[in-house]
Structure 1
Amino acid sequence: MNGPEIHLLIAPELHLFIPAEHRHHPQTPTSLLTDGTSTLGHTIESLGIPLTEAGRLLVDGEEVTVAHIPRAGETVGIHPVQRPQHIPGAPLRFLLDVHLGTLARRLRLLGVDAAYESEDIGDPALAALSARERRVLLSRDRGLLRRREIWAGAYVYSDRPDDQLRDVLGRFAPPLTPWTRCTACNGPLREAGKDAVRAQLRQGTQRTYDVFAQCAECERVYWRGAHHARLEAIVAEAVREFGGTAA
């Protein structure tokens, strides 16, 4: 680019997205040549920052939108998304890509509406599904989050499920209603009598447990089995940190 030179102040939280030469102290601007016609949004994406992760944009101290066209000598401050982040226009619901299955199950465990594609259906289909169902697309794929079709999106910053869950809950503050969703298909759970689900239970389970729940959509049956203590610990930690009711 041989156009106007601008000066960028990029928040440290966004440094993981940008080349090393632009990772300066937050009070030390880095210079960038632009083409004089591209929007600020395009310029930000050209640095590697998904627009889903860019919050307030300040030009010489004045707030602007991504449609602003930078001019020579401007100092542009790029801030991270403010947390908790409010997504207007629809109930808060999520869509997770194929690599985030554990996160999807943990969100469902907490009663959060989290659709998940267990097979790789491709970026265009995921983006279209996000738009059609008005779901926030969660992904670690920066290219996917740059697709214009998506309704809303967010980068998942960690590859560790514990940290991923904390990241999403802290960013969006969804209401938590644990034990109300099927972790397999995301459908709602309802109480079920033992007689109603007996045919789906092994004899040992029939003898040992008396309290059951069943998914209203896929009909999977749940009870407080061997893994319940581990799941309870996940629920208790999330409720302690982000609110809700554990029982």
Structure 2
Amino acid sequence: MNIRVYGDLNDFLPQGKKHKDQRVGFFGMPTVKDLVESIGVPHVEVFLILADSLPVKFDYRPANGTLISCYPKFTSLPVSAIALRPDFEKPPRFILDVHLGRLAAYLRFCGIDTLYDKSFTDNQILDISQADGRIILTRDKGILRNGLAQFGYFLRNTNPQIQLAEVVHYFDLDHYLDPFSRCSLCNGEVEQVDKPMVKNLVPATTYQIYSEFFQCSRCGQVYWEGPHFIRISRLLSKYSK
């Protein structure tokens, strides 16, 4: 049986096997999901599979000699009637694995609903993702191959700022950006507060210099438009429209 993957799905293949048919041998009658993941492609990034030009589901069991074609998320071609999964919630909500703390902060600075806790186990991430319809962001292909994973994306880069660009582009987040509306620490909503309310919560010099303050409604973290705010604003300006 031959398998060919298209578009960004080639990111998961070795250099010599990209954009080519791959001959895959197998015993018994495995599902097409198992066969696709056997060559390294997580099923959560596959949005359409054709078996000899006909759309099939993940539980399809191909016969020997079948040509399997796998396609990633489409941006302009409507395939909702035959896609392997429903489209993401709008606006998308995320849950990140334990290695993506900096990306979680950046997404929250962008105003994107992002769950992150360095104590989360893979099973907890999968359970929360299923229960809340959250998209798993990770650099661990193992969790994305788990049968409980419905929505997910494997980050190609390791630099958090480049990862942010990846996520904004892949999920069309530029329409949903609301900078500094969420707390970078806990994901709570941030609101402007009267200056006297934070007098005992910030350094005295900060209280004297700045006139406007903002506070997380969940954890109480206080924010103001200092140098860090300016640096983050410059980063987010690349994605805001």
Residue of structure 1 in register with 2:80 after alignment: none
Alpha-carbon deviations, 1:75-126, whole Å to 9, x = none? Answer: 111222224897346862100111111111111111100010123x321122
- The alignment status of 1:52 with 2:44, answered yes or no, reads yes
Q: How far did 1:9 drift?
A: 1.7
Residue of structure 2 in register with 1:135 after alignment: 134
Structure 2 residue identity aligned to 1:54: V
With over 3 angstroms needed to count, the CA separation of the structure-2 counterparts of 1:89 and 1:109, relative to structure 1, is closer
Q: Is the 8 A contact 1:37 1:69 kept in 2?
A: yes
3-state DSSP of counterpart to 2:47: strand
Residue of structure 1 in register with 2:9 after alignment: 14
Q: How far did 1:151 drift?
A: 4.2
Structure 1 residue identity aligned to 2:31: T
Distance in 1, Cα, partners of 2:144 & 2:48: 18
- The alignment status of 1:222 with 2:223, answered yes or no, reads yes
Unaligned runs of 5+ in 1: 1-5
Cα RMSD (Å) of the superposition? 2.1
With over 3 angstroms needed to count, the CA separation of the structure-2 counterparts of 1:96 and 1:83, relative to structure 1, is farther
TM-score, normalised with respect to structure 1:
0.86
Residue of structure 1 in register with 2:110 after alignment: 110
Q: Is the 8 A contact 1:36 1:70 kept in 2?
A: no
Q: What is the percentage of aligned positions where both structures have the same residue?
A: 29
Distance in 2, Cα, partners of 1:226 & 1:195: 22
- The alignment status of 1:95 with 2:95, answered yes or no, reads yes
Between Structure 1 and Structure 2, how many residues are aligned?
231
TM-score, normalised with respect to structure 2:
0.88
Q: How far did 1:34 drift?
A: 2.4
3-state DSSP of counterpart to 2:68: strand
Residue of structure 2 in register with 1:185 after alignment: 186
Q: Is the 8 A contact 1:213 1:221 kept in 2?
A: yes
